[in-house]
Structure 1
Amino acid sequence: MNPVVFVTIFALFYSSRHTDALQITFIPSVVTVNMGDSVSVSYEIRNYSHQAQEKCILYSENINIASLENETLVLKQNGTFEINGIFLGKTFLLCKSQQRNNTTETIVEVIVIRKERIIDVIFTASVASLVSLIYINFGCAMNWGDLKHILKKPTGPIIGFCGQYIFMPLLSYGLGKLLFPTSPAMQLGMFFTGTSPGGGASNLWTLLLDGNINLSIAMSAVSTIAAFAMMPFWIFTLGRLIFESGNLAVPYTQVFSYVIALLVPLGIGYLIQRYLRKVANYLVRIMKILSICLLIFIIIFASVTNMWLFNIFSWQIIVAGMAVPWMGFLAGFLMSKFLRQPPPDCTAIAIEIGIQNTGIAIFLLRFSLPQPEADLTTVVPVSIGILTPFPLLFLLIYKKIYARFSRSTNSSTNDPGSVATLKI
């Protein structure tokens, strides 16, 4: 047979077979649905045969992210179906024709995101109000003369600055590369947490563990103000190496709001201490009890509101949540001990370096990444925030037990009846 004739016949045969292919158009081709909600998708069919019983299997590539009401659909000329958002992430809907010899496959991208909830707003507002009240108490309790002395000889703040903005960024960068070698988004979550200033909870824990509260507040102020310069430095150096294409920007407004949230309540506390001594004394007396209540409230409420994140916890995320703050505690303690700082100062420095402001890290992630990646990567700072208090809590329990045991021993030693019993 003439080769030209053969090629022509083959082309006509292939074209007839190809045009017979079932062609489906989905509207929209990219579907965004909230977690726990459903959305309707329309479809249109070309080359539809009314005589044949056309069937199409429509299924989700990952039913843990998105699912369908009915996976086997009898196709009409056009129609709709429902997609259910199960959990955060991206998946695809695959559509395969059963009757056509040349089965076609059509893909629809499904993006499942998380909708804003009222409980998130309530949690943020209640924590902000309680923290402001605590800082008013701090302002009443502070020895403002000691604060001036600390700023004149700033050994503690310098140690805290070096730990916060040299050790912690490098640590989080290295751990991110080690624990999440194939996930730049998770590395970014680690790195943003490590470059954030010290967290407000550092002052509460310093108070509860009998550290130098004046030094702790001074370091928090220095750390937060220094964030205006140090966060851009790290984000546009190591941050670029992690995520070259990211829309990275420093949340100056967010950092400034933390500065205001720190300084204004302290100023109110100072005025109360100076002009309302009885009120100041009362606030100082309830300060530890109020701090404990606030920490318990934050731990429980944060766990409840972020319960959905526990579904994606892995051993790497748990290790990251423990390693970043716990190694920060250890580094801060060793540096302050090496420089011969008093024990209360060592406690304050170690706590300040180890506790990060995860709120700023979460804000950065949501600003820099699209959904659902932004919400998925917040699992890293959330994990760090949840696991940070455990060594401090164990130390607090130990100190309370030791103090109670010491008081019991001293009272028994000083009791004459006890001495007589021992002689018998």
Structure 2
Amino acid sequence: MDVFVATLLPLAVVVIMVSLGLDLTTADFRRIVTRPRAFFIGALNQVVLLPVVAYLIILAFGFTGETAVGLMILAACPGGAASNVVTKLADWDVALSVTLTATFSLTCIATLPVVLAFAMGQFMGEAVSDVNIAQAAFTAFLLTALPIGLGMTLRIAAPGAMAAIAPAFSKLAVVLFVAVILGAFASNWDVVTNNIGQVGFGLLTLLALLTAIGLAVSRMLGASDREAKTIAVETGVQNGALALAIAALLLPDGETFGAYAIPAALYGAVWIGATGAVFGSVALKRLLAR
């Protein structure tokens, strides 16, 4: 397996998760108790709504085999650190966003293998026996819970020093996220470009539906406007880097990514393009209104 898949990709995911841990305090987890409505609405969207919508997209677009499994892996991954950045730029509920991202980054150790097992059984038939679900769960632990715990421990041990480097670490995490997406494209350019039309449009539809439905469900269940918008972003933005790392496990001995990784690789490009278009249009409207 090439250097990107074997070394740089896991390293990038670890740095992103450590960055998240450096920004966390015990107060972030206490919000689960002090603001249970917002948290459980986010949990409903992330754990239930997201995989269900992804499954319906798979059926609607006719995705099969590895591509369908890859899309379900993406849906099972927690919100990425990018959701926190978007929430901050939009001046929504950053505290809630961080709490949701951190919590589901930890709980995905249990939920991701369940979704993966379902997807393999549903879409891969006899090939399901070739996939080690326990290994996927252990990898999720190594790439999420462990580095988040390390970041939190470092913050407790040296709060002053960690507070000073946390902003730079967060920026590095964003840079690495983009680098992971570019690396995924470069590692399997032919496979990605051959599928960018159908899969890319399916992912764009998934992103739009998750954001819209997440917003509607949140408001229907009594979340405030800022909470609803934050939860919608958290529902729509997935940790593509983690999805790529899990997809790499499903390759028996390949040197590049296979079809499992196509949804995660294309998702980053679709998300960056869609987010850039939204923020660009908002900025343009504000500029013209002056």
Gaps of 5+ in 2: none
- Partner amino acid, structure 2, of 1:203: N
CA, structure 1 residues 343+269, in 2 after alignment: closer, same or farther (shift >3 Å)?
A: farther
Contact 2:82 2:174 in 1 (8 A): no
1:370 and 1:207 mapped to 2: Cα distance?
40
Computing the radius of gyration over CA atoms, which structure comes out larger, 1 or 2? 1
Match of 1:192 in 2: 73
2:11 and 2:224 mapped to 1: Cα distance?
36
Match of 2:149 in 1: 263
Q: Pick from 238, 260, 264: which aligns with 1:381?
A: 264
1:172 and 1:203 mapped to 2: Cα distance?
22
1:194 and 1:299 mapped to 2: Cα distance?
17
* Structure 1 residues 43-79: Cα deviation after superposition (integer angstroms, max 9, x where no partner): xxxxxxxxxxxxxxxxxxxxxxxxxxxxxxxxxxxxx
1:225 and 1:176 mapped to 2: Cα distance?
26
Question: Is structure 2 residue 139 aligned with structure 1 residue 254?
Answer: yes
Contact 2:5 2:245 in 1 (8 A): no
- Partner amino acid, structure 2, of 1:218: T
Greater relative contact order structure (CA < 8 Å, 6+ sep): 2
Q: Percent identity?
A: 15
CA, structure 1 residues 263+155, in 2 after alignment: closer, same or farther (shift >3 Å)?
A: farther
- Partner amino acid, structure 2, of 1:375: G
CA, structure 1 residues 218+117, in 2 after alignment: closer, same or farther (shift >3 Å)?
A: same
Q: Give secondary structure in 2 for the equivalent of 1:266.
A: helix
Q: Pick from 94, 99, 106: which aligns with 1:213?
A: 94
> How far is the alpha carbon of 1:237 from its aligned partner?
4.3
2:91 and 2:9 mapped to 1: Cα distance?
28
Q: Pick from 106, 118, 123: which aligns with 1:242?
A: 123
More helix by share: 2
Contact 1:225 1:259 in 2 (8 A): yes
Gaps of 5+ in 1: 1-115, 410-424
CA, structure 1 residues 285+259, in 2 after alignment: closer, same or farther (shift >3 Å)?
A: closer
Match of 2:230 in 1: 348
> How far is the alpha carbon of 1:121 from its aligned partner?
5.2
* Structure 1 residues 351-397: Cα deviation after superposition (integer angstroms, max 9, x where no partner): 22112233444444444465669713321221123212322222333
1:238 and 1:202 mapped to 2: Cα distance?
25
More strand by share: 1
Following superposition of structure 1 onto structure 2, how do residues 5-404 of structure 1 map, counting pairs within 5 Å? 116-120=1-5, 123-124=8-9, 127-128=12-13, 130-131=15-16, 134-135=19-20, 138-139=23-24, 145=27, 147-180=29-62, 183-237=64-118, 239-245=120-126, 246-247=128-129, 248=131, 249-250=133-134, 251-257=136-142, 258-273=144-159, 276=160, 282-283=164-165, 293=175, 296-368=178-250, 370=252, 375-401=258-284
Contact 1:208 1:396 in 2 (8 A): no
Contact 1:191 1:239 in 2 (8 A): no
> How far is the alpha carbon of 1:221 from its aligned partner?
2.7
* Structure 1 residues 194-218: Cα deviation after superposition (integer angstroms, max 9, x where no partner): 2233333322332333232221222
> How far is the alpha carbon of 1:232 from its aligned partner?
4.1
- Partner amino acid, structure 1, of 2:148: L
CA, structure 1 residues 132+163, in 2 after alignment: closer, same or farther (shift >3 Å)?
A: closer
CA, structure 1 residues 136+149, in 2 after alignment: closer, same or farther (shift >3 Å)?
A: closer
> How far is the alpha carbon of 1:119 from its aligned partner?
4.4
CA, structure 1 residues 267+349, in 2 after alignment: closer, same or farther (shift >3 Å)?
A: farther
Q: Return the TM-score normalized by structure 1.
A: 0.56
2:13 and 2:118 mapped to 1: Cα distance?
32
CA, structure 1 residues 253+194, in 2 after alignment: closer, same or farther (shift >3 Å)?
A: same
Contact 2:71 2:264 in 1 (8 A): yes
Contact 2:12 2:177 in 1 (8 A): no
Match of 1:52 in 2: none
Q: Give secondary structure in 1 for the equivalent of 2:125.
A: coil
Contact 2:240 2:265 in 1 (8 A): yes
CA, structure 1 residues 370+285, in 2 after alignment: closer, same or farther (shift >3 Å)?
A: closer
1:391 and 1:356 mapped to 2: Cα distance?
14
1:231 and 1:356 mapped to 2: Cα distance?
13
Q: Return the TM-score normalized by structure 2.
A: 0.78
CA, structure 1 residues 145+376, in 2 after alignment: closer, same or farther (shift >3 Å)?
A: closer
2:16 and 2:216 mapped to 1: Cα distance?
29
* Structure 1 residues 226-277: Cα deviation after superposition (integer angstroms, max 9, x where no partner): 323333443444642323321241412112121122232134335554xx2x
Residue correspondences, number: 284
